């Protein structure tokens, strides 16, 4: 009889704190022993001293999400999760979207139907709150939070999604009372609307003007505004997809004052710039996302922010729209105005290999940082740790064995998403997941998919934060004391 279901020998295991050679034994989908292990197992894999990391946790990706302009997200749970698996991500957290004026509970039920039996990897849900009315805050969200949906995103921009400051304050107060985590998309919508109007009036309609219409100043301003509201309510927030040095500096200043501000950045802010949007033809639309990619100097600073700990999370913000056809980037043909091009870039499969190659192997960051921002921290911040996000006894056996010895040029034909391009076409990489394991099951072996599409299960999220009821007297006394300082 075998002692274990799976034994991985000769692994160079990286966690958020360590990097060491060991064997890993798995039983019933869970890591049961780590050390030099000489026992039987139903299956033995020799990792041949390759790097072994926890499976990635992609804390920000969009799959099969409803839109309001007839565009269609190119990936559903099947293609999106398959692509994630090939890229070494074993947990995804996409978004259940509350339609304005609608129920979040219904949105979640519908999103479950889209996911069930169709995911190759495990999944939790974020919620997107577009209408934080009494009914939602009092009668829907408290139960949802108790039932495993403990994090949500709010938007300061996009007509169909944005909240005003009063609504943001209500959501932040609710998050504090209930121990939830609020993710904030920080861009000033009125300024974007004004600049868009001015650009269109001047006949500036091409893809590159997307970047002009959403300048760094307005990301900076909105980031500071979000931080200020979080400071007032005294509740942690996470600023998503930070693109610029200026926004990052706001976050760094807040963190150095002791405020609990978390931050996420994404591959597009390390590997693309606004110049990618500036093409003669419509090709630039492939790189339209919000906030837009910035300058080479911003890229450098974002790398530094990862290294120095300003960013806790590195997500894909996979928002897949096809380039060809009329449901994606060319929704109104090849002359689609920049402001009507669906926002987002694909990247669920390339997130981890890009950072392993360009970050770890080119020595911009160490392997522990890689693990912490691609896996451990998102698992912690979204209430999935220690089940997810580490290689330790008792954790789910979500494991990636890497091949870091093979230099190649990335091409979209290698990828498994349902998108007809990758923004990173031609980039030279030397890391790719060889074998990917989810709860002890091999899902990718030597580069081949061997899982069923019902492998993935829904994960209930614990509370990310302790619930702290907003004490109104305390808040008012604190403000009064600060106002009349001697
Ligand atoms: O352009 C982007 N990032 N699209 C996806 C939606 C969002 O705001 O994250
Ligand atoms: Zn966003
Ligand atoms: Zn997003």
| DSSP letter string, 384-444 | -TTTSSS-STTSB--EEEEE-S--EE--GGG--SS-S--TTTT-EE--EEEEEEETTEEEE
Neighbours of ion ligand 2 (CB under 5 A): 185
Q: Could you give the 3-state DSSP secondary structure of residue 41?
A: strand
Give me the helix-helix angle, 165-178 and 216-233, nearest 10°: 50
Ligand 1 centroid–CA 9 distance in Å is: 41
User: What percentage of the chain has pLDDT greater than the value 70?
Assistant: 100
Query: For ligand 1, is residue 319 a contact (CB within 6 Å)?
Result: yes
Which bound ligand lies closest to the C-alpha atom of 291? 1
Ligand 2 centroid–CA 116 distance in Å is: 25
Confidence of residue 472 (pLDDT cuts 50, 70, 90): confident
Query: For ligand 1, is residue 289 a contact (CB within 6 Å)?
Result: yes
Ligand 3 centroid–CA 139 distance in Å is: 27
Confidence of residue 2 (pLDDT cuts 50, 70, 90): confident
pLDDT computed for residue 100 by the predictor: 94
* Measured distance CA(55)–CA(291) in Å, rounded: 27
Among 284-288, 412-416, 451-455, which stretch is predicted with the lowest mean pLDDT? 451-455
Angle among Cα 166, 243, 335 to the nearest 5 degrees reads: 90
* Cβ–Cβ < 8 Å for 93, 374: no
Q: Could you give the 3-state DSSP secondary structure of residue 97?
A: strand
pLDDT computed for residue 447 by the predictor: 87
Joined tokens for residue 380: 């912690």
pLDDT digits (tens, 9 = 90+) for 322-334: 999 999 999 999 9
Q: Per residue in 202-225, is it b (16+ CB within 10 Å) or e — as a string?
A: eeeebbbbbbbbbbbebbbbbbbb
Taking residues 43-59, what's their average pLDDT?
A: 98
pLDDT digits (tens, 9 = 90+) for 207-236: 999 999 999 999 999 999 999 999 999 999
């Amino acid at each position: 009889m075998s002692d274990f279901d799976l034994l991985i020998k000769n692994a160079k295991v990286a966690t958020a704190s360590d990097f060491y050679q060991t064997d890993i034994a798995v039983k019933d989908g869970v890591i049961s022993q780590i050390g030099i292990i000489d026992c039987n197992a139903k299956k033995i894999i020799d990792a041949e001293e390759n790097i072994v990391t926890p499976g990635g946790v992609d804390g920000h990706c969009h799959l099969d999400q409803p839109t309001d302009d007839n565009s269609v997200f190119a990936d559903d749970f099947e293609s999106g999760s398959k692509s994630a698996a090939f890229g070494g991500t074993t947990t995804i957290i996409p978004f259940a979207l509350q339609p304005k004026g609608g129920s979040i509970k219904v949105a979640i039920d519908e999103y479950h139907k889209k996911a069930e039996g169709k995911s190759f990897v495990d999944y939790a849900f974020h919620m997107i709150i577009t209408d934080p009315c009494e009914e939602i805050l009092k009668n829907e969200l408290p139960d949802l939070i108790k039932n495993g949906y403990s994090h949500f995103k709010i938007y300061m921009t996009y007509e169909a999604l944005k909240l005003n400051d009063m609504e943001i304050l209500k959501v932040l107060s609710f998050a504090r009372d209930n121990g939830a985590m609020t993710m904030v998309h920080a861009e000033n919508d009125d300024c974007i609307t004004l600049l868009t109007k001015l650009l269109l009036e001047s006949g500036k309609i091409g893809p590159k003007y997307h970047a002009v219409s959403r300048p760094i100043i307005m990301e900076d301003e909105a980031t500071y505004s979000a931080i200020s509201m979080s400071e007032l309510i005294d509740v942690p927030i996470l600023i998503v997809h930070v693109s610029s040095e200026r926004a990052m500096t706001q976050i760094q200043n807040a963190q150095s004052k002791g405020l609990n501000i978390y931050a996420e950045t994404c591959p597009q802010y390390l590997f693309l710039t606004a110049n990618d949007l500036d093409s003669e033809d419509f090709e630039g639309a492939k790189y339209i996302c919000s906030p837009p990619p910035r300058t080479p100097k911003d890229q450098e600073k974002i790398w530094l922010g990862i290294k120095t700990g300003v960013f806790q999370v590195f997500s894909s913000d996979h928002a897949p729209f096809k380039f060809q056809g009329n449901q994606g980037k060319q929704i109104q043909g090849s002359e689609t105005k920049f402001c009507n091009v669906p926002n987002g870039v694909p990247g669920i499969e390339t997130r981890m290999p890009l950072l392993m190659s360009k970050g770890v192997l080119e020595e911009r960051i160490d392997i522990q940082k890689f693990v912490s921002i691609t896996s451990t921290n998102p698992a912690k911040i979204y209430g999935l740790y220690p089940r997810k996000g580490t290689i330790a006894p008792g954790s789910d056996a979500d494991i990636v064995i890497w091949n870091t010895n093979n230099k190649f040029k990335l091409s979209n034909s290698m990828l498994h998403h349902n998108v007809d391009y990758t923004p990173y076409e031609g980039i030279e990489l030397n890391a790719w997941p060889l074998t990917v394991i989810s709860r002890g099951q091999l899902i990718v072996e030597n580069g081949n998919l061997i899982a069923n599409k019902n492998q993935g299960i829904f994960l209930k999220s614990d509370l990310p934060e302790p619930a702290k009821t907003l004490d109104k007297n305390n808040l008012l006394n604190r403000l009064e004391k600060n106002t009349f300082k001697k």
